[in-house]
Amino acid sequence: MTTDEGEHTVSATAKTTAADGRIYLDKRSPAAYQALVKTADAVRTTAAEAGLDRILVELVNLRVSQLNGCAYCLDVHTRAALRAGETTRRLGVLPAWRDTELFTARERAALALAEATTHPADALAQERAYDEARQALDDAEISAVIWVAITINAFNRVSILSKHPVRETSAV
């Protein structure tokens, strides 16, 4: 699970199942989950070293989470994007990013790569996304965006399959 800051935590004393009997994968297999957390930490460092700003990273996290239907990660990363300075207007149109001029060429390239990473079976979309990325991003940025998308895809699956709940919070 991720905290509001995008950090991933596991409580040693947490229940390993939900009320409906669903296994919380992060709690039941903490060593495996911590390995994923360490990967996320390395990817966060890679993204920063490549020069990706926090808003772009959160846009990738959000778009992938939208495609996967992960309510928990959408909640976490919407709040993280807002804290990073993203606007509610852009967040509201993110599902239709191709149909607006609100996103930069770099962001559009990153979003296309994120979608291609999430749905790799679409080879044509993958090629188009990669070609577009080559026009707007350097190799380090392309690699970092793909790693961000791979990592959030993994966290989406953990949260979806664990049915991590979205709880009411007053914090942004």
For 67, the token pair is 């495609």
pTM listed for this prediction: 0.89
Contact predicate 36/158, CB 8 Å: yes
The Cα–Cα gap between 156 and 73 comes to 6
The Cα–Cα gap between 43 and 98 comes to 26
Contact predicate 68/156, CB 8 Å: yes
User: Among candidates 68, 32, 154, 55, which has minimal Cα distance to 104?
Assistant: 55
The Cα–Cα gap between 45 and 112 comes to 22
Say what the pLDDT of residue 104 is: 98
Contact predicate 115/63, CB 8 Å: yes
Domain ranges of the chain: 28-160
Residue-by-residue DSSP string for 59-82: HHHHHHHHHHT-HHHHHHHHHHHH
For the chain, residues with pLDDT lower than 70 are 1-14, 170-172
pLDDT tens digits, 43-83: 999 999 999 999 999 999 999 999 999 999 999 999 999 99
Q: Where does residue 6 fall: left (phi above 0), alpha (psi -120 to 50 degrees), or beta otherwise?
A: left
3 CB contacts (<8 Å, ≥6 apart)? 9, 76
The architecture (CATH level 2) of 28-160 comes to: Up-down Bundle (1.20)
Task: Identify residue 42 by its one-letter amino acid code.
Answer: A
